[in-house]
Amino acid sequence: MLPGNSRVQRKSQADLSRSQFLQLAAAALVPFVGLPPSAAAAKNPELAQNSGASGTSDATTPDRKGAILVSRFGPVKIHSYLSPTDGFHVNTQMIEGPTAVVIFDGQLLLPYADEVASYVQTLGKPVDRIILSHAHTDHWAGLQVLTERLPDARVFALDGVADPLRARGQARLDSFRPIYGDRIATKVTVPTETIAEGLQQIDGITYDFKRFVDAESDLQLAALLPEQKVLMAFDLVFSPKEHVFTVVDHFDHWIIVLELLKAIQGYDTITIGHDTPVHRSAIDSTITYVKRAKEIYAASADAKTYSESLKAAFPDRQLASIVDFSAKLLYAARR
């Protein structure tokens, strides 16, 4: 369980306030188009060494563009689908229990969501539900394909996540279309069910759902799997190999959230929103990055200076275009 903290909970019912992410995302995505697939889609050796899982393996096929890592925790398997670079290295997690599968997040681009649907169908178990971690478009646009191909699966999210999708989702998809054409969704898939905080049993697997505000996004889900000792952190934690999305100026409170996650003991395997699963040491590396980003943001007058300074501060991290993307949104919010 997470230790209590009134600051983390103080805005749990607030509406999302950063509409600039949705308003500007289409234009900011341009630097990513045409980038080659990254070697980050390979299995993470740190996970294999440190996770404590009973085994990990790569589930590959010649025609699949994304990569899938399968982590085994006794009778439970976590199938992590990682999109190529043009899909933002977004992860879709498929938690396979004894009789059913739970899917978390739906990809940015339709072809990659289609690969998720095709893969999950090979598992031979029904999808109990799909859970959206937060309202950023790269995690929900592909829900159109998942719900079409998995029509019995209901879509869940925290209370408050569906509101910006209803209000601005279609306009955002329309803005993406000049960039991605028919690879972007044509309609918004809005969650119809609310995922409650706290302990829940789904197909015999215990989940401890947590709600966080003012971190990488305004509202974010996290989930503990106590029996498997897995933390599903989504976009709260980033890989030490890649740059971090800093699209809003929640630096101070994001650090508070990360410190709370760090205080949880025994969870050495962390699944994240971008790149392959990581060891808990990635919490520290994310804190280091966010602190440095805060300092650079305070000292930079414009997006170009922020971007160049942050890339220089972390020269070995992959996906440097993420910094350009973040800077456009971050500095647009100042105006």
Q: pLDDT tens across 153-210, in order?
A: 999 999 999 999 999 899 889 988 998 999 999 999 999 999 999 999 999 999 999 9
Percent of the chain with pLDDT strictly greater than 70: 82
What is the reported pLDDT for 38?
Answer: 37
Residue 55 binned pLDDT confidence (cut-offs 50, 70, 90):
low
Per-residue pLDDT at 324 exceeds 70: yes
Q: Which residues does 4 contact at the CB level (< 8 Å), separation at least 6? A: none
Mean pLDDT of all residues in the chain? 85
